[in-house]
A and B are shown apart, each in its own frame.
Chain A
């Protein structure tokens, strides 16, 4: 079983739709959960981070973590064409030297105008 699993998509939605992106993981030691956005041929850009279980909201973005199910989600409300990118879930465990982060494969999102 892969340490982090993420559906690569692509996911295509109309402008204004609510987008749901998800990852599952197998390592129960993960405590820090992040979502990155990556535009083509660019480095990943941090969108959200969450510690342990719970929800976190930032503007149109909401991150959810369910540690009991080993499942994390990112919701994008009122999606815009500029949200078209690859979204990477990422996670790390405490106690690991330098907080090595493991990434999912990324989900490609297309938001159509």
Chain B
């Protein structure tokens, strides 16, 4: 069964450093998402991406965050200057098309720890 692949599985970084989280969505999917989940809390929407541009973003997704699809397969989330409160699981997800009949396929996540 096709999978969404995320790397690394765990990233430890110092406060103020830049991090790039990587995702390989399912190959024929068109919509891509980043969500985050702070330990013990709910899954929160960050950003959706379609046709090489952001289609929607949340209040969390401020100027410190950016997304990119640098080639036909990778989808990245960059945090420019990490803060302690950015520590969370970050999930990438993709879906096949705009129609409502498909939920997301999530990756296994990257655990980001900012120290």
Contact A101 B101 (CB under 8 A): no
Chain B residues numbered 71-115 whose CB sits less than 8 Å from any CB in chain A = 89, 91, 93, 95, 98, 100-109, 111
Please tell me which stretch of B13-21, B42-50, B62-70 contacts chain A, meaning at least 4 of its Cβ atoms lie within 8 angstroms of it: B42-50
The size bracket of the interface on A is 20 to 34
Specify which chain B residues have a CB less than 8 angstroms from the CB of A104 in the assembled complex. 42
- The tally of CB-CB contacts under 8 A between chains A and B is 72
In the complex, whether A102 has a CB less than 8 A from a CB of chain B is: yes
User: CA–CA, A42 to B37, complex, Å?
Assistant: 11
Contact B45 A98 (CB under 8 A): no
Q: Interface code B32-52, partner A: CB below 8 Å = 1, 0 otherwise?
A: 010100000111110011100
Specify which chain A residues have a CB less than 8 angstroms from the CB of B44 in the assembled complex. 103
